[in-house]
Amino acid sequence: MFAGFYWFIKGLIYSLLLGLIVWCHQYCIGLSYSSINI
Protein backbone atom coordinates (compact mmCIF):
# COMPACT_ATOMS: atom_id res chain seq x y z
CA MET A 1 0.00 0.00 0.00
CA PHE A 2 2.67 2.48 1.08
CA ALA A 3 5.01 1.47 -1.75
CA GLY A 4 2.22 1.97 -4.29
CA PHE A 5 1.49 5.42 -2.87
CA TYR A 6 5.21 6.28 -3.07
CA TRP A 7 5.39 5.28 -6.73
CA PHE A 8 2.19 7.22 -7.45
CA ILE A 9 3.65 10.40 -5.91
CA LYS A 10 6.96 9.85 -7.72
CA GLY A 11 5.19 9.42 -11.07
CA LEU A 12 3.08 12.51 -10.41
CA ILE A 13 6.16 14.63 -9.64
CA TYR A 14 7.98 13.34 -12.72
CA SER A 15 5.00 14.06 -14.99
CA LEU A 16 4.70 17.58 -13.55
CA LEU A 17 8.41 18.22 -14.11
CA LEU A 18 8.22 16.84 -17.64
CA GLY A 19 5.20 19.01 -18.40
CA LEU A 20 7.00 22.06 -17.03
CA ILE A 21 10.08 21.36 -19.17
CA VAL A 22 7.95 20.90 -22.30
CA TRP A 23 6.00 24.10 -21.55
CA CYS A 24 9.20 26.12 -21.00
CA HIS A 25 10.65 24.71 -24.22
CA GLN A 26 7.54 25.70 -26.20
CA TYR A 27 7.53 29.14 -24.54
CA CYS A 28 11.20 29.76 -25.38
CA ILE A 29 10.64 28.69 -29.00
CA GLY A 30 7.65 31.05 -29.20
CA LEU A 31 9.74 33.91 -27.81
CA SER A 32 12.58 33.30 -30.26
CA TYR A 33 10.15 33.13 -33.21
CA SER A 34 8.40 36.35 -32.16
CA SER A 35 11.74 38.16 -31.75
CA ILE A 36 12.82 36.98 -35.23
CA ASN A 37 9.54 38.19 -36.76
CA ILE A 38 9.98 41.62 -35.17
- pLDDT tens for 1-38 read 678 999 999 999 999 999 999 999 999 888 888 877 75
CA-CA distance, 1 to 11, in Å (whole number)?
Answer: 15
- CA of residue 16 relative to chain centroid, distance: 6
The pLDDT value given to residue 38: 59
Amino acid at 10: K
Q: How far apart are the first and last CA of the chain?
A: 55
CA-CA distance, 38 to 36, in Å (whole number)?
Answer: 5
Strands (E) in 1-38, as ranges, are: none
